[in-house]
Amino acid sequence: MARKRSAAHTKAQKAGRERDRNVCQICGSRDQVEGHHIIDHQFSGVALTDNIIALCRKHHNDVHNGKIDILKI
């Protein structure tokens, strides 16, 4: 079941993707771009634009699977 997102979270996600021009910040792709929390919710990552980076779905999954350390790019 998908988590219910707050309005602030949705707004930050959209603003972060727009700031990054809906371009994956790893590969430059414009396909299936998603917002990723640089510091995750579970580690007090807040829903602010500065905590969001635009990533394509592949790289977003790679980050969550531990293949890419987002803090090193």
C-alpha span between 2 and 19 (Å, rounded): 25
CA-based end-to-end distance of the chain: 31
- pLDDT for 2 equals 59
Q: What is the pTM of this model?
A: 0.86
Summarised one tens digit per residue, pLDDT across range 13-38 is 999 999 999 999 999 999 999 999 99
Residue 3, pLDDT > 80, answer: no
Instruction: Report the relative pairing of strands 33-37 and 52-56 from DSSP bridges.
Output: antiparallel
Q: Which helix (H) or strand (E) holds 53?
A: strand 52-56
Q: Which two tokens stand for residue 35?
A: 């917002």
Residues of the chain with pLDDT > 90: what percent? Answer: 70
Give the residue, 1 or 14, on which the prediction is more confident: 14
